[in-house]
């Protein structure tokens, strides 16, 4: 099916040219590294650690909610847990995992030798670590960690003890780190593509990341502005959000969600990119509607800026405002449905096999669609008055974050681990991990829909007795899901140490070379597994595949 | 290790090595982000920054 057949194994040997050198020795390698693969590994390992830290916080929450009454923790600490769980998972887990994947894969996918700005890349990572360490340190401060929820609404958040300025400073660090990472990714994709790798031939993962990077640059400063106003309200006698001084707490909600909604898409767009990369490979079919996928991603990104107030229907907006935000939110379903349709059409009549990455990808399509549908329910302003601030919301966003974003991060890890390490992972344990995760995640989050519809509020450590049964089931699911992730940890460590003993080939997966790229062969699969420390020091020969007509043009 | 870029430089006839191009891209995007920061920050913070910069000179 390749339109242009060219042997291009020659670049395998280029790592011995141009005075290439290996990594520095010892711990210093990881501190001063500017190599995109090393920094990608650092990001991924950091994200893995943060998933477990945030996961322990989630288990504390679920343990407390196993039965009514105050069982294990103080209410203030419980509220800190809900807040910190969200912040750690979003800023320490999901975002760094995607940046790690971008660091590892984008240069190899576009035929670049490294990221455009390697030193800034190193700085972004260590600034992230500093931000998360600072944020975590607030747990040990007088008055405890922030406990007003990850949205940090005033006036409640202004009651935080000594931790508030530290949390705000950590948000600044995390924001600057994200922006530097985004600038690097855009510069890499715009400037470093190999000759012949046109924009409309790029793999979808690269496309989704370049759009995500623009979202990051646009909205992180907004969040920084919002929290800085909190800081000045608390310590410098301003009244931005204080009604007594002429301010308005609702203003904070508008500013926060102008950041917050695009942030949701920052978490989900790279997820789409991974799904669009994995599904064609295991369906052994080209991605259906490549260009419509690109335009749908851009449309979702654009729409994310004009729908923010659907998070705050209950504040008392004018009817015209409610109608506008209701309809604009519903419009997002169109490009999203285009994507779901395209993934399904890609699988349609494909010669599918069900290795672990594909299992995660299929479950993502199903469970993300469920999360999307509940989102559509909440977009209906009058209905949202019932759902607002209940467990229905918790169920909704966990469906679009856990079996969607987190599942696809794990799918990506299974998909690329053999490439990164040169070793095959244990497929049986991988599949066991998938089935345990997929079943338990539904036991964990599906009952929360019922709890929300019945009126159970979110962010409470105690609840009325009629909510007991579903909470117990949800907690049991939570513990099964949490402990199942130890299997993932085992697989990662085991694969790094040699895995099954079977060495990974260059291509690893049967359909990877042909269907793993955009309009070209998947460049990363032309490299040895594991790839040499420096890759594509000379531009690779791009092999255009005709399978995707609009991408190949 | 010599970085390479796509052939857009040749197509446009705009002569610039890849390192300069990368830094220029970063500068433009950085200024864009900075302008968003300035716009999003409260006036009090902007005044504080201006005062601090003035105090240096």
Mean pLDDT score, A492-513: 93
Percent of chain B with pLDDT over 70: 74
Mean pLDDT score, A452-468: 96
Determine the pLDDT at residue A3: 37
* pTM of this structure: 0.92
Mean pLDDT score, A362-379: 96
Task: Determine, for residues B30 and A183 on separate chains, whether the beta-carbon distance falls below 8 Å.
Answer: yes
Residue A146 has pLDDT above 70, yes or no: yes
Residue A12 known to be catalytic: no
Task: Determine, for residues A191 and B21 on separate chains, whether the beta-carbon distance falls below 8 Å.
Answer: yes
Determine the pLDDT at residue B47: 85
Mean pLDDT computed over every residue of chain A: 93
Q: Hey, which residues 28-47 in chain B have their CB within 8 Å of chain A?
A: 29-30, 32-33, 36-37, 39-42, 44-45
Determine contact, residues A73/A250, Cβ cutoff 8 Å.
no
Q: DSSP string of A248-301?
A: -HHHHHHHHHHHHHHHHHHHHHHHHHHHHHHHHHHHTSPPTTHHHHHHHHHHHH
Residue A113 has pLDDT above 80, yes or no: yes
Chain segment A247-267, per-residue pLDDT in tens = 999 999 999 999 999 999 999
Residue A409 has pLDDT above 80, yes or no: yes
Among chain A residues, the shortest Cα distance to B35 is held by A221
**How many other C-beta atoms are found inside a 10 Å radius of the C-beta of residue A397?**
18
Determine the pLDDT at residue A537: 87
Mean pLDDT score, A169-187: 96
Task: Determine, for residues A193 and B32 on separate chains, whether the beta-carbon distance falls below 8 Å.
Answer: no
Determine the pLDDT at residue A28: 87
Residue B12 binned pLDDT confidence (cut-offs 50, 70, 90): very low
Determine the pLDDT at residue A389: 95
Residue A8 binned pLDDT confidence (cut-offs 50, 70, 90): very low
Residue A15 binned pLDDT confidence (cut-offs 50, 70, 90): very low
Mean pLDDT score, B22-45: 91
Size of interface A-B (CB pairs under 8 A): 94
Listed residue (A142, A129, A130, A128) closest to A80, CA to CA: A142
Measure Cα distances from A458 to A120, A440, A473 in Å: 40, 21, 17
Determine the pLDDT at residue B45: 81
Determine the pLDDT at residue A306: 96
Which chain B residues have a beta carbon less than 8 Å from that of A183? 25-26, 29-30, 33
Determine the pLDDT at residue B16: 73
Q: How many CA atoms lie within 13 A of A163 on its CB side?
A: 25
Mean pLDDT score, A112-116: 94
Chain segment A32-72, per-residue pLDDT in tens = 999 999 999 999 999 999 999 999 999 999 999 999 999 99
Residue B29 has pLDDT above 60, yes or no: yes
**What is the C-alpha separation between A47 and A39, in angstroms, rounded?**
12
Residue A25 binned pLDDT confidence (cut-offs 50, 70, 90): confident
Determine the pLDDT at residue A542: 86
Instruction: Select which of A41, A138, A188, A276 is catalytic.
Output: A276
Residue identified by tokens 């010599």 is B2
**What is the C-alpha separation between A338 and A494, in angstroms, rounded?**
38
Residue B10 has pLDDT above 50, yes or no: no
Residue A228 binned pLDDT confidence (cut-offs 50, 70, 90): very high
Determine contact, residues A526/A7, Cβ cutoff 8 Å.
no
Residue A85 known to be catalytic: yes
Determine contact, residues A303/A324, Cβ cutoff 8 Å.
no
Task: Determine, for residues B29 and A120 on separate chains, whether the beta-carbon distance falls below 8 Å.
Answer: no
Say which residue, A191 or B14, is predicted with more confidence.
Answer: A191
Determine the pLDDT at residue A550: 54
Residue B2 has pLDDT above 80, yes or no: no
Task: Determine, for residues A187 and B25 on separate chains, whether the beta-carbon distance falls below 8 Å.
Answer: yes
**Which of these ranges, A14-23, A306-315, A386-395, B6-15, has the smallest mean pLDDT?**
B6-15
**Which of these ranges, A8-22, A277-291, A347-361, A429-443, has the smallest mean pLDDT?**
A8-22
ipTM of the complex: 0.83
Residue A136 known to be catalytic: no
Phi, psi of A503 (to 5 degrees): -80, 140
Residue A261 known to be catalytic: yes
Q: How far is B41 from chain A (nearest CA, A)?
A: 4
Measure Cα distances from A161 to A137, A145, A184, A233, A461 in Å: 13, 8, 36, 14, 20
**A545 secondary structure, DSSP code:** B
Task: Determine, for residues B26 and A120 on separate chains, whether the beta-carbon distance falls below 8 Å.
Answer: yes
Among chain A residues, the shortest Cα distance to B1 is held by A18
Residue A440 known to be catalytic: no
Residue A507 has pLDDT above 50, yes or no: yes
Residue identified by tokens 């958040």 is A157
Determine the pLDDT at residue A17: 45
Residue B37 is nearest to which of A184, A221, A240, comparing CB atoms?
A221
């Amino acid at each position: 099916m390749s339109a242009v057949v060219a042997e291009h194994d020659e670049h395998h040997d280029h790592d011995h040219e141009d005075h290439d050198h290996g990594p520095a020795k010892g711990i210093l390698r990881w501190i001063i590294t500017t190599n995109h693969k090393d920094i990608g590994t650092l990001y991924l390992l950091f994200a893995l650690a943060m998933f477990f830290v945030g996961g322990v916080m989630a288990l504390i929450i679920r343990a407390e909610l196993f039965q009514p009454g105050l069982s294990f923790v103080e209410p203030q600490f419980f509220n800190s847990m809900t807040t910190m769980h969200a912040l750690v998972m979003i800023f320490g887990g999901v975002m760094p995992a995607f940046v790690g994947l971008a660091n590892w894969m984008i240069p190899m996918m576009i035929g670049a030798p490294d990221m455009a700005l390697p030193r800034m890349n190193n700085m972004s990572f260590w600034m992230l670590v500093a931000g998360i360490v600072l944020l975590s340190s607030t747990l040990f401060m007088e008055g405890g960690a922030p406990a007003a929820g990850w949205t940090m609404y005033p006036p409640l958040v202004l009651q935080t003890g000594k931790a508030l300025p530290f949390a705000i400073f950590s948000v600044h660090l995390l924001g600057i780190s994200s922006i530097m990472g985004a600038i690097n990714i855009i510069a890499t994709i715009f400037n470093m593509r190999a000759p012949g790798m046109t924009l409309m031939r790029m793999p979808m993962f690269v496309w989704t990341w370049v759009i995500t990077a623009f979202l990051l640059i646009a909205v992180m400063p907004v969040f920084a502005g919002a929290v800085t106003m909190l800081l000045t309200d608390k310590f410098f006698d301003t009244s931005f959000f204080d009604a007594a001084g002429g301010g308005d707490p609702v203003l904070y909600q508008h500013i926060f969600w102008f950041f917050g909604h695009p942030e949701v898409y920052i978490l989900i767009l790279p997820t789409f990119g991974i799904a669009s990369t994995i599904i064609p490979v295991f369906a052994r079919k080209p991605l259906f509607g490549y260009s419509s996928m690109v335009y749908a991603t851009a449309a979702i990104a654009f729409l994310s800026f004009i729908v923010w107030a659907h998070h705050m229907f209950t504040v008392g907006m004018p009817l015209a405002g409610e109608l506008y935000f209701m309809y604009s939110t519903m419009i997002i379903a169109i490009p999203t449905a285009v994507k779901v349709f395209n993934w399904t059409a890609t699988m349609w009549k494909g010669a599918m096999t069900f290795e672990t990455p594909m299992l995660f990808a299929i479950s993502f399509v199903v469970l993300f669609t469920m999360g999307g549908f509940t989102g559509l329910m909440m977009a209906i302003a009058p209905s949202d008055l019932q759902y607002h601030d209940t467990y229905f919301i918790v169920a909704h966003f966990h469906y679009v974050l856990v079996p969607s974003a987190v599942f696809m991060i794990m799918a990506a890890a299974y998909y690329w681990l053999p490439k990164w390490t040169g070793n095959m992972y244990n497929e049986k344990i991988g599949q066991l991990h998938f089935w345990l995760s997929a079943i338990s995640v539904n036991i964990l989050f599906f009952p929360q829909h019922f709890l929300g519809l019945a009126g159970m509020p979110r962010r409470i450590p105690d609840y009325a007795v009629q909510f007991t049964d579903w909470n117990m089931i949800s907690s049991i699911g939570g513990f099964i899901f949490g402990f199942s992730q130890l299997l993932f940890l085992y697989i990662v460590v085991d694969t790094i140490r040699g895995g099954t003993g079977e060495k990974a080939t260059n291509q690893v997966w049967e359909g990877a070379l042909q269907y793993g790229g955009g309009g070209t062969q998947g460049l990363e699969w032309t490299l040895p597994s594991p790839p040499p420390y420096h890759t594509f020091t000379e531009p690779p020969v791009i092999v255009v595949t005709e399978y995707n007509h609009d991408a190949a043009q | 290790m010599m970085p390479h870029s796509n052939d857009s430089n040749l197509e446009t006839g705009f002569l610039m090595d890849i390192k300069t191009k990368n830094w220029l891209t970063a500068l433009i995007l950085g200024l864009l982000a900075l302008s968003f920061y300035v716009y999003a920050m409260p006036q009090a913070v902007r005044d504080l920054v201006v005062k601090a910069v003035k105090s240096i000179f």
